[in-house]
Amino acid sequence: MEGDFAVTSQICAGDTAFVLAGAAMVMFMTPGLALFYGGMVRQKNVLATIMQSFFIVGVISVVWVIVGYSLAFGPDRGHFIGSLAWLGLRGVGQAPNPDYAATIPHLAFMIFQGMFAVITPALITGAFAERVRFPSFVVFSVLWSLLVYAPIAHWVWGTGGWIHNLGGLDFAGGAVVHISSGAAALAAVLVIGPRRGYGSNLFASHDLPLTVLGAGMLWFGWFGFNAASALAANGVACNTFVVTNTAASAAMLTWVLAERLHRGKPTTLGAVSGAVAGLATITPASGFVGPLPALLIGGLAGLVCYGAVQAKWRLGYDDSLDVVGIHGVGGALGVLATGVFASVLVNPAGADGLLFGNPAQLGTQALAVVATFAYSFGVTAGLLKAVDALLGLRVSEEHEALGLDQSEHGETAYGA
């Protein structure tokens, strides 16, 4: 009884409630992503697109409990991966694990991180929307979460991970979530190829209000994504909340401005794309920078990510829903910006960046960008080719013309 009391007394009820609420908000982001992506595809593919994100909540949650968490955060093996010591959450209980969070139950940390593991492969689906078989998508997502996401999470956040040991800064997933998914998205579009008719047919969004609703859910959930990554209800969490909103707002404004100057009209799709670009870009820096740097980072995100999305037309790859330009480029920009603007005055547990007298931090951040991108791109390409050889990745030409709602699921979104 005395031991149980000692364990309980270490736990802060406020911190625990805050992190659990954050976990719920991050979970809410994946259904939000389903609507965000679902509105941008053609009507005949809306259910199939929504299904991919929604189904991934269940399948990756199960994988995370069984083995994913142990690989990502378990006792270090060679600074590359966690061991299987926590297989099936063995030893992961109500007591805190001070290696990660001293004031919340280990289970609370586990489930919070699990929601990051859920949304990351869901982000990739936007790149290959409207052309991949559902069984192949499921197999790929499970393998990707184990062979790509778990190792990168261990490198950056795991005790003993090599980027963590170098002092790399990634507060809430610029490298772990956004660069990894963006690099995987680029590999996917190159391996799978474009949609039939790409470049000659019009692939217009079928329901932009649905996309706006999804974007609102993402923006809301991102406060949990970033602020709760402080793992405590404290000043760092408050600062993170403020800079998250600031960067998203600034990016939306600069994206729409760039669109107005470039295309002549501001669009609703541009506004929500800009906001998401700002959210992705501020994510790694959110716990290390103040509001004014966040304003600059967000403003740059809107301009740079808009340019990256436009570049896909010149480069000729079919990234259906702009995962590479928004998440890949935004994540890389954010990780590098962290190396410039980070300050220990904002977060004593972090480090100073270039502007505060520590140019070496920018080098560490650049190394994290290159390593994460290269690893995710290479392993993803190999996984996709293996899944294609075993199951076949693409639907047939006939089924692609019919639409995946009917061909893959036998359903229609809006009735007859």
DSSP symbols for 249-304: HHHHHHHHHHHHHHHSS--HHHHHHHHHHHHHHHTTTTTT--HHHHHHHHHHHHHH
Between residues 345 and 3, the one the model is more confident about:
345
Average pLDDT over residues 82-110: 97
pLDDT tens digits, one per residue of 329-348:
999 999 999 999 999 999 99
Identify the pLDDT of residue 415: 77
Q: Give CA–CA dist 34/27, Å, rounded.
A: 12
Pairing of strands 76-77, 81-82: antiparallel
Q: Name residues whose C-beta falls within 8 Å of residue 361's C-beta, 6 or more positions apart in sequence.
A: 167, 169, 339, 342, 351, 352, 353, 354
In this prediction, residues 46-58 reach a mean pLDDT of: 98
Residue 4 pLDDT: 44
The pTM of this model reads 0.96
Mean pLDDT for 14-41 is 98
Q: Confidence class of residue 7 from pLDDT cuts 50, 70 and 90?
A: low
Report the pLDDT averaged over residues 406-410: 97
Q: d(Cα 199, Cα 223) in Å, to the nearest integer? A: 37
Mean pLDDT (whole number) for 241-246: 98
pLDDT at position 2 is 36
Please state, in angstroms and rounded to a whole number, the distance separating the CA atoms of residues 76 and 84: 10
List of domains in the chain: 2-409 (1.10.3430.10)
For position 6, what pLDDT does the model report?
47
* pLDDT recorded at residue 199: 85
Q: How far is CA 378 from CA 302, 352, 381, in A?
A: 28, 32, 5
5 has a pLDDT exceeding 80: no
User: In this structure, are residues 240 and 226 in contact, taking their beta carbons and an 8 Å threshold?
Assistant: yes
Host H or E run for residue 77: strand 76-77
State residue 82 phi and psi, 5-degree precision.
-85, 160
Report CA dihedral (6, 12, 13, 14) to the nearest 10 degrees.
170
How high is the pLDDT of residue 358? 98
Spatial distance between the Cα atoms of 69 and 61, rounded to a whole number of angstroms: 10
DSSP 311-339: HHHHHT---TT-HIIIIIHHHHHHHHHHH
pLDDT, tens digit, 9 for 90 and up, residues 291-312: 999 999 999 999 999 999 999 9
Chain position carrying tokens 């979104």: 413
Tens of pLDDT, residue by residue over 150-176, are: 999 999 999 999 999 999 999 999 999
Q: What is the mean pLDDT of the segment spanning 372-397?
A: 98
Give the pLDDT score at 8: 54
